[in-house]
Structure 1
Amino acid sequence: MKSIEFKYSKKKIFLFLIFSILMIGFFGWTFINSETLASSEPNSSYRYRWIGQLFYKNETLLQYFSAFLFLIFCLFKIRLIKMLAKKTITFKIQNGKLYQDNKYLTDINQITNLKLKSVNKNHFINIFIKNPKIHIVKERNLFRKTKFKIVNYTENTPLSLNIDFLINKPETIIEKLKKFIE
């Protein structure tokens, strides 16, 4: 059994955690004060006036919208706290299978290529596999299956790993992973 670990950046996680808490507070306040906010008529002539018109005298829409974003940021906060508690991400090869934090990713012999993708300073490692559709069908968790389908549609592979919160540079992470898998 081989394994490799990468440490999370505490500073980056704390900054995003503070941002998440601020957004939770803002959307919680918006939800509580939706009646007052929906009653004020938008009186300016700016480019995105239609957003104000959308919520004007529509308290329930504003409540649903702010509740939705409140829940999204709560889930993000929980994810960040879990990362902070774990401190590292571990990749393990056991019996010819690749695991990330003891969760099965794919068989080693199915991996064809690893590629680094950067989008607006966000870094992802796309793991290209031989039969992505079979990998999607084998997944039992409905949430992960849906995620795999969306990522497969956009990236031509169901496996995409976010490496933004790691200390190491993305180039060194992908090189270490390539050596680890070979």
Structure 2
Amino acid sequence: MATRDPKERQELTSSCVVCDLHFQEADLVKNFVHNIRGDVVVIPRDKWSLKDDAIPRLFPNCLKYLSKPLRKRKAPAVRSPLQPKRRNVQDDAEQENTAPNTFDYGERDGSVSGSVTLDSTQSLFEELSTMAQEGRRLQGWSTELVDSVVVQGRPPRRESPPA
């Protein structure tokens, strides 16, 4: 709801005419701008128009606090590009083929320890499935194979032995 004067709450219609003194220069559309075959053509308007978000901000004959200038915004900061987001599982499988992965496994008490290195032809799922079938464990984790799904869980730590 735009008003012509802050003290008068009269709604403006499409047939109303307002003085350009009440609007800032950036709120006025003074030219038609057309792109013809790649060339920009600017034609001055006979009757100026207002932008859709134009609000009357300047009231020269009213109290000074009613004329609020538009706040000047800082230019956006120059930022480095963001890191790429995490990829899909399919993309991760392709990435596995380019670089080998190493995993440490062992029993909870540390009696069995070692590492597994995946070559470019072996997927993480295949290695985890093999570890679950053979009973090998990642340190502090239990690994089980249930209906072609590798399930890993971390059992809760017991502070005292069961009674």
TM-score, scaled to structure 2? 0.19
Higher strand fraction (1 or 2): 2
Between Structure 1 and Structure 2, whose CA radius of gyration is higher? 2
Structure with more contact order per residue of length (Cα contacts < 8 Å, sep ≥ 6): 1
More helix by share: 1
For normalisation by structure 1, the TM-score amounts to 0.18
